[in-house]
Chains A and B, each alone.
Chain A
């Protein structure tokens, strides 16, 4: 159900607080009334989400602009 928006992560990312490796999981994104699910790397314990730069400046920005009517 969640959109696959990132490339498979080759790095080993570790949540500093929980000392747990981040895993691919569902995250909820929302902006100006629109909500949807995307797959991102998340800490299985505290839920910390990693948003990569390419996503933020790419598709996320496009969705933000489409919601804003900019």
Chain B
């Protein structure tokens, strides 16, 4: 990989995060997923899609623990391969969140766990999530968010770094509203982020590789973090209307 061309996928593909979060690549692991499932109470056999599914551990979990018809898509074919290698039965495929190979309204639930912040075109992705959900369907999002001020382009992080993609709660609220969603649950789970940091250190010795994966200059990363004050959240929203072109404003 060319020096400096570091994106979120490099971090994920390295397998480091997998080990760190108890097998699942994000703060909170499957615990937050389970909480969301308990809240939504999907019927057995309901159609769920995990966007940014990685090696499919969540898809597997949803299928086995809840009997849901869960499928997963990830933009990295490398990771999807790894998942299929692990369990060839899993319905995993390479696809990007902005362009899901699913019919309109086919899904009862869309899971977007710790991946929205790394998406370049969030509005398009949201429109896509709206499209594939039936009216009343649930959108579940967990991710980093900026508790203080938004990360700006002046901070010099590559656009696909998950830190660069962090939005404030207000920005996220607007994003969802414009895409036709109504937020039912918003919960701060920032302690999960601290736990995640500790895990990273326990498994890998230090946070250094994480900083380096975000940008070649660890100080820039830390500077961006300082200004934005990252936290972690879980939100559950309901699709209340169809998204139409021209709904979103200038970001």
B205 near A62: Cβ-Cβ < 8 Å: yes
B205 near A34: Cβ-Cβ < 8 Å: no
Segment with Cβ contacts to A, from B125-133, B167-175, B196-204: B196-204
Report how far A55 CA is from B122 CA in the complex, Å: 42
A3 with B197, Cβ < 8 A, contacts A62-B207, A66-B207 known: no
B202 near A59: Cβ-Cβ < 8 Å: yes
Query: Range of interface residues on chain A?
Result: 10 to 19
| A residues less than 8 Å from B203 (CB atoms) | 3
A1-22, CB under 8 A of B: which get 1 and which 0?
0010100000000000000000
Seen from chain B, the residues whose Cβ lies within 8 Å of a Cβ on chain A are 194-195, 197-199, 201-203, 205-207
A36 near B205: Cβ-Cβ < 8 Å: no
Cβ-based interface call for A53 (8 A): no
Distance from B66 Cβ to chain A, minimum over Cβ atoms (Å):
22
A57-68, CB under 8 A of B: which get 1 and which 0?
011001100110
A63 near B205: Cβ-Cβ < 8 Å: no
Report how far A67 CA is from B207 CA in the complex, Å: 12
| B residues less than 8 Å from A38 (CB atoms) | 202
A sample of 23 inter-chain contacts (CB < 8 A) reads A3-B202, A3-B203, A5-B202, A33-B194, A34-B194, A34-B195, A34-B198, A36-B195, A36-B199, A36-B202, A38-B202, A58-B205, A59-B201, A59-B202, A62-B206, A62-B207, A63-B198, A63-B202, A66-B197, A66-B198, A66-B201, A66-B207, A67-B194
Contact of B205 among A33, A59, A67 (CB under 8 A): A59
Distance from A68 Cβ to chain B, minimum over Cβ atoms (Å):
12
| B residues less than 8 Å from A59 (CB atoms) | 201-202, 205-206
| A residues less than 8 Å from B206 (CB atoms) | 59, 62
Distance from A53 Cβ to chain B, minimum over Cβ atoms (Å):
15
Report how far A38 CA is from B203 CA in the complex, Å: 11
Report how far A62 CA is from B208 CA in the complex, Å: 10
By Cβ-Cβ distance, the 7 closest A-B pairs, closest first, are A3-B202, A62-B201, A62-B206, A63-B201, A59-B201, A36-B198, A63-B198
Report how far A54 CA is from B178 CA in the complex, Å: 53
Closest to A38 in B: B202
Report how far A13 CA is from B201 CA in the complex, Å: 27
Closest to A33 in B: B194
Closest to B194 in A: A34
Closest to A32 in B: B194
Distance from B155 Cβ to chain A, minimum over Cβ atoms (Å):
19
Closest to B199 in A: A3
A39-70, CB under 8 A of B: which get 1 and which 0?
00000000000000000001100110011000
| B residues less than 8 Å from A3 (CB atoms) | 199, 202-203
Distance from A59 Cβ to chain B, minimum over Cβ atoms (Å):
6
